[in-house]
A and B are shown apart, each in its own frame.
Chain A
Amino acid sequence: MASFSTNEFKSGLKVLLEGEPCSIVENEFVKPGKGQAFNRVRLKNLKSGRVWERTFKSGESLEGADVMEYDMEYLYSDSEYWHFMRTDGSYEQLAADEAAVSDAMQWLKETEKCTVTLWNDVPILVVAPNFVELEVAETDPGLKGDTASGGSKPATLTTGAIVKVPLFINIGETVRVDTRTGEYQGRGKSS
C-alpha cells in the first residue's frame, strides 16, 4: 500500500496508525514561524469509531490502509457471527464478529441496511442506519389518553435495546429510534 505524507492527508483518507486502521477527518497545517511546523489532524479509529485529535510533524507519513465501505443488508446471527449480504446485486455474504458489530448489535433486525467497513477484506465495523423502527417487546402498560404529561418509561425492544419511551406506548407498537443517541423519535410508520 502507498504511504501518504501529512500534506496528502485529505478528509476520508484511510491510513494505518500504530497498526490500527483510521480515517482522516480533518487536517490543518500549523506553522507559527518561531517553532516547528506541524499538522493538527482529527482521525477516526475505524475499529472503535473513536475520533481524536493528534499532531504530526509536517512531512511525516503514514501507510495507507486497505479499507472499503459497503452498504449491506443484515441477514441473521448465529450468536458467534453476524451475517450480512451486499446490496449491489452480487449477493456476496460476509460474517462480522462481535467486536465489529458491538455498537450496532442492539439495533439490528433482519433486512436492516447497514454500513459495513472492511479492512483487508475483513469486517471491522458495522454501523446501523441513523434511524431504525423497532417493535416494543416489553414495557409497563400504557396510560390511556396520556399523550401530554411528558413522562417516560423504559421499554425493551425486540432486538434487546432498552429505550425511554412516552407513557402511552404499548407492547407491540413500533417506535422510531435515533441509533446515534439511543433516543425515541416517535411512533413508527408501521404502528
Chain B
Amino acid sequence: MSDWRAQPSWQTLVARDRLNRAIRAFFCRRDVVEISTPVLGLRGSPDCHLQSLEVYTQQDRYFLQTSPEFAMKRVLATYGQSIYQICPAFRQADLGRLHNPEFSILEWYRPEFGLGELMDEVMALLRSLPQGKACWAAEPNRVSHREAFLKEFGVDPNVASIAQLRSLIERHTSLEVNHLDHFDDEMARSDCLDYLFTECIVAGFSGLTWVVDFPVCQAALAEIDDAGQTASRFELYAQGIELANGYQELTDAIAMQERFNQWNQYRLNRDLPVMAIDQRLLSAISNLPRTAGVAMGLDRLMMAWLDEDNIGKVMPFVWSAS
C-alpha cells in the first residue's frame, strides 16, 4: 500500500495537541476531574439511532461505547462529583464528511448545574481556547426548536400527526424523500420531525447557534420540563454542524426504562439488534444528583476551530485508511 502517510498537516496535529491541553487546563481551573471508563462495555446503548460495534472474547460479547454516558453516570451516581472524560467513541456505519465511525468525545457532568449554567460553561470553554475564533466572542444565536417549528410549519411538534408531517416533508423539500420508513410509531414521527428540522431549519444556521426546547419525543435521556411541553436539552451548532449535545439529566429510573423499551421496540420493528437493558445503569440512576451533562464532538470542534470542512482533515487516519 503506497498511501501509508497520515493526511493532516503537522500544524493540524500540533493544533489538536494545543486544543486538548487547553481543555484540560480549563477543567483543572474549575475543579472538574478527568476520569477514564472502559471503552468496551457488556451493555451498549439502546438508542435506536446509534448502532454499536461488537467485540467478541472467548466468553462474552462486548460493545464499543457509542459514548461514555452510561459509565460516567454510574461514576457520577457513586461520587456526586464534577467529572469529564476525553475518549474515543464508535458508531457503526456513520461515515461521511462529518462522520467517522471512530471519533473523539469530550463529555462532562456538573452536579447542581441547570441547563443554562452548563451552556454558559460550554461558551466559556470555547472562548478559553488559544487563538480563539473572533465569531465565538459574540453571544450565539438561540433557536427554540418548538417556536421555530411552529413558525415554519404552523404545527406543534408534540402533537402533529405523522400524516401531517409526511405531507409537510413533501411540500417543504425539493428532493425525493425515500429513506423514512412507513411505521406509524412515535419514533417514526420523531424521525419525520428531525428530518424537517434538519432540512428546513438547521440548514439556515450560521455562526454559533443554540437549539433548545426540543419536542418531548426527542428527550433522549433528558428530563421533560414541568409543563410537559419540551425536553430539557440543548444542542450547539457551528455553521449548521452539530458540536455538542447537553441534557438536564433524567434521574428517574422508571422513565429511563420506558424510553429504553421504546427504543428497543423501534429496533424490533425494523430488524435492528435489540439491546439488553443495562441494569447497573438503571440501579445507579436514582442516586444521580440533579445534574447537567454535555457531550462534545472533539473532531467537529477541531473542524470548526480550524475552518476545515471534512473530518478527515483533522485526524491522522480516517476509518478507511487505518
Contacts and interface: CB of A to CB of B under 8 A. Distances in A.
Contacts of A36: 49, 179-181, 191, 194-195
B182 to A, nearest CB: 12
Nearest to A35: B194
A54 B191 contact: no
A147 to B, nearest CB: 43
Nearest to A32: B198
Most buried by B among A29, A32, A52, A59: A32
Nearest to B180: A36
Contacts of A52: 175-176
Given A52-B175, A53-B176, A35 B49 contact: yes
Nearest to B242: A33
26 contacts: A7-B95, A29-B94, A29-B95, A29-B97, A29-B98, A30-B198, A31-B99, A33-B49, A33-B242, A33-B245, A35-B193, A35-B195, A36-B180, A36-B181, A36-B194, A37-B93, A38-B179, A38-B195, A52-B175, A53-B174, A54-B175, A54-B176, A55-B176, A55-B179, A56-B178, A57-B179
Interface string A46-60: 000000111111111
B84 to A, nearest CB: 21
B94 A31 contact: yes
B135 interface: no
A6 to B, nearest CB: 9
Nearest to B48: A36
Interface string B90-130: 00011111110000000000000000000000000000000
Contacts of A38: 179, 195
Contacts of A37: 49, 93-94
B177 A55 contact: yes
Contact of A59 (B93, B97, B176, B191): B93
B220 interface: yes
Given A32-B198, A34-B49, A35-B198, 10 more contacts: A31-B94, A34-B218, A35-B190, A36-B191, A38-B195, A52-B176, A53-B175, A54-B177, A55-B176, A55-B179
A70 to B, nearest CB: 31
Contacts of B177: 54-55
B86 interface: no
Interface residues of A, number: 23
The 6 closest A-B pairs by CB, nearest first: A29-B96, A35-B194, A53-B175, A38-B179, A54-B176, A57-B179
Contact of A55 (B94, B98, B99, B178): B178
Given A7-B95, A28-B96, A30-B198, A56 B179 contact: yes
A32 B203 CA distance: 11
A176 interface: no
A40 interface: yes
B76 interface: no
B178 A54 contact: yes
A105 B143 CA distance: 53
B202 interface: yes
Contact of A30 (B96, B180, B181): B96
Contacts of A55: 175-179
A50 B281 CA distance: 53
A149 B271 CA distance: 70
A120 B191 CA distance: 39
A9 to B, nearest CB: 11
B237 to A, nearest CB: 10
B217 to A, nearest CB: 9
Contacts of A39: 179
